[in-house]
Structure formats: C-alpha cells, structure tokens
Structure 1
Amino acid sequence: MNYDIPMEVWIKPAGEQQLSLVTKSNFNHIYWTITQQLAHHTVNGCNLRPGDLLGTGTISGPDPESFGCFTELSRNGQKPLTLTNGSERKFLEDGDEVILTACCKGKGYNVGFGTCTGKVLPATP
C-alpha cells in the first residue's frame, strides 16, 4: 500500500559548503499508510481540502543506514556520525542545515519533489 519513493537526508554544517549524506530511506517504510493517515485525520469530521499537508513523521528503514532520526542514527548520542569534512555529530548543532530530497523513478522518467531545507538556529533567551 505504500509508494516506493527513495529519500535522502543531507547535512551541511555551519560555515561549510560540502554536504554529508546522513541517511537513505524509502517512503515504503512508513508506519501508517497514506490511506490510514487520511482516515485518522477525517474520522471525526475534520475537513481535508486540496493543498492541505499531512506530516508523516519519522520514516525509518530496517537497516542502520536507513534510520530516520539522529537519536536512532547515533544510538542516542553514544555513536557519533562522521561527516564528510571529518567532524562528528551526535545530534544536530546550531547552524546545521538539513536537506531532505526524494524522487520517484520509473522507466525513462523521474518525478522529483524538490528539496526541503531547514537550518537549526540557536535558542533565544
């Protein structure tokens, strides 16, 4: 019931130009199917309109290389990830940019979703 959509998550540390691949997963590992999410959203009469967005949450695959969050990837901070520039991360840090990409691939065509990018900003007092 789930779509085969390969996804990647990259990190660009503050002040760096080089990206580091953090994880590769696939939408087919999602826990709840889209139809289940739609039913959950609307069962109590909540409207759903064209253009509404539904968040899927973390999409973790079965292998350590496909885990979907830093807590899983770093084993709750006990095993740091080494980035391309040699630095390590146990968790995201201020200034890190996180880039998510996904693309469906068929015979002779690709359907991309663009990128979703966010930057971790420091907490303000």
Structure 2
Amino acid sequence: MRKVMVVDDKEGIRTLLKEVLQEEGYQVEEAANGWDALESVRKTKYDLILLDVKIPGINGVEVLKKMRAEDIMTRVMIMTAYEEMNTYGDLKELGVSQVFSKPFDIREVLRKVNQHMAARE
C-alpha cells in the first residue's frame, strides 16, 4: 500500500487530508510537529510527505534539510500559508516538487498526489 505522511500542527488539516487520502486508498500517518515527523521518516519509508512549513519544534524547511542531510530522499510537497514560500527556489533544490498555499483546494492536492503516485508506478 502506498504510504503518505501528513505533517501539520493543525489537527483539522491533518484529519481532512487523512480522510481524503484514505478514501483514495493511501495509508496515511500524521505528525503534528517537526521532531515527530523527522523521527517517523527515519523509521518508515513513505512514498510522499505533505509538509507544512510553520510547525512546532523544528520548522518544515529544517525537517526537509535534515532529511536530505541523512540521505532520506522521499518526495515532499510543501503546504504553507506564507506567500514568501511560493518563491521556492531553495526548496526545489531540496527536492520539493510542489508548494500549496493555504487555504488550498483539496481537489488540487489530491490531483497532485495521484499524479505523483501514478508517475512512481
């Protein structure tokens, strides 16, 4: 089963994404902060991570940098309410394939997730 991790400090966003992704057949795990997310990616191989930028502990960009430093190359899509992140040149160098601005269209997120998974198969 294809595995996705959703990292966001807002429980409502995690719940929404989890429900929608599970309906599509994905196995979904959640993390509410950067440290939990990092611990989880060190133990579990995910097909995709939906990562918020502003999360407690260490922020999403730092999580991503630590993952890459540890050679964890899981594909990452960033979610952010911060417009400055939409100029994501540095993130692209870290392997970010998509940036979603909050509030996002859940159908667009699902479409991009499905495209990513179809490309992997």
TM-score band w.r.t. shorter chain: under 0.3
Question: Over alpha carbons, which structure has the higher Rg?
Answer: 1
Structure with greater strand percent: 1
Give TM-score scaled by structure 2 length: 0.25
Structure with greater helix percent: 2
With a CA cutoff of 8 Å and minimum separation of 6, indicate the structure with the bigger relative contact order. Answer: 1
